[in-house]
Amino acid sequence: MPKLLHLADIHIGMENYGFLNPQTGLHSRLEDYLQRFDEVLDHVLTHEQIDLVLIAGDIYKNRTPNPTHQREFARRINRLVRAGLPVFILTGNHDAPATNTRAHSVEIFDTLEIEGVTIASKMRFHVINTQHGPIQIIAIPWLNRQALLNKDEMLGLPMNALEAEMVSRVSRWIEGTVERLDPTIPTVLTFHGTVGGATYGAERSVMLGHDLVIPRSLLTSDGIDYVALGHIHKHQALGNQPPVVYPGSIERIDFGEEHEAKGFVIADVEKNNTSWQFVELSARPFVTIRVDVRQNPDPQERIRRAIAKHNVQDAVVRVLVDCTLAQRQTIDDKALRAQLEEAGAHVVAAIALEVERTTRGRFAEVAEQVRDGLTPQRALELYLQTKNIPVERQTKLLQAASGLMRPEA
């Protein structure tokens, strides 16, 4: 009975909410993702007798990873290869090129013909030999229209008709592939994409491309013993026999994933009787501190006490404060930031002061502060507040602006 390690959505290169580590020269959030990947490998090589490592897509943040990101991923794949573990890599939407004539982000492994590493960038059937016998793999990478339809077939068709035709072609291909299966050998179907009934996490903010939704019933034909999914960052199981499992991403991307466990799956793949377990990783904590001081005579102290009640050690932290316009002038956000840093916060993402006021009042405040002089960062913060932009969106925009405004070394 082969034992499979199933992970997905590694997203090497994601650099939300971090800083450049002067000791390593790497971004602190890149180090987070690499450390989570190392945690997976340490578990595999020291705690489990794994027969195959299956990565169900989205190796990198985007389809054009820089050389450093490629080097770090290759180092970790080499570690598995040296240990004699077969590796199966399915391409995801973050790995796929913009056009079919360009190489995808992990194609170099195919080009070098590294023994033990299989790259699946097209719908194909594979047989992988492992220490405990062969595994049949039906591979369905991220699908775009160009992969299934030619220009003439797409001409003039509305989007819903295109998607219906794509689903039909995938269905026919799966049916034909299932007919070729050896009924005595365990079979895994791996797919990077959206399955009907899945619950999205925060990954919509980093998605590349339009989602084609595949009905779960297409992936659970007789003869398939485990369905290894990727693309959706929230760990979830959509079926029992065969198990239909998203392991989720290995690290948190932003506050939308604050309460989601991150990890990978170990599956004992057996004909008609596959069992699996989710293994949680020590992902970077994200902490939101919400406090309403509108009825409090000492807002600074109220916020200070609210912060003190939270464990922010090594966390990415944001503080969301509901206050009045008058209170806004008395709150010392620099002191609050210092308190968070002294408490061990990894990064203070934002201290957002939400003021209830009329639109006219908002612009009057901005005008007054412009006259008094303010930093570009503060000007942007005030502008976003006047536009009623949601706090989570404000946080992301301010984080991005901070990087752009940072003086060059």
Domain ranges of the chain: 3-280, 286-405
Burial of 91 per CB tally in 10 Å (0-12, 13-18, 19+): buried
Alpha-carbon distance 46 to 42, whole Å? Answer: 6
Instruction: Say what the alpha-carbon torsion angle 54, 58, 63, 68 is, to the nearest 10 degrees.
Output: -80
Alpha-carbon distance 11 to 8, whole Å? Answer: 9
pLDDT tens for the chain, 409 residues long, are 899 999 999 999 998 899 999 999 999 999 999 999 999 999 999 877 899 999 998 999 888 889 999 999 999 999 999 999 999 999 988 777 666 666 677 777 777 788 999 999 899 999 999 999 999 999 999 887 666 666 566 656 777 788 888 888 899 999 999 999 999 999 999 999 999 989 887 655 444 445 788 999 999 999 999 999 999 999 999 988 899 999 999 999 999 999 999 999 999 999 999 999 999 999 999 999 999 999 999 999 999 999 999 999 999 999 999 999 999 999 999 999 999 999 999 999 999 999 875 444 555 555 555 545 566 766 787 777 666 677 777 777 877 776 665 544 3
| 3-state DSSP assignment of residue 368 | helix
pLDDT value, residue 240 = 86
Q: Give the CA angle between residues 387, 392, 395 to the nearest 5°.
A: 80
Q: What is the fold, at CATH topology level, of the domain defined by 3-280?
A: Purple Acid Phosphatase; chain A, domain 2 (3.60.21)
pLDDT value, residue 86 = 96
With 0.75 as the threshold, say if the pTM is over it. Answer: yes
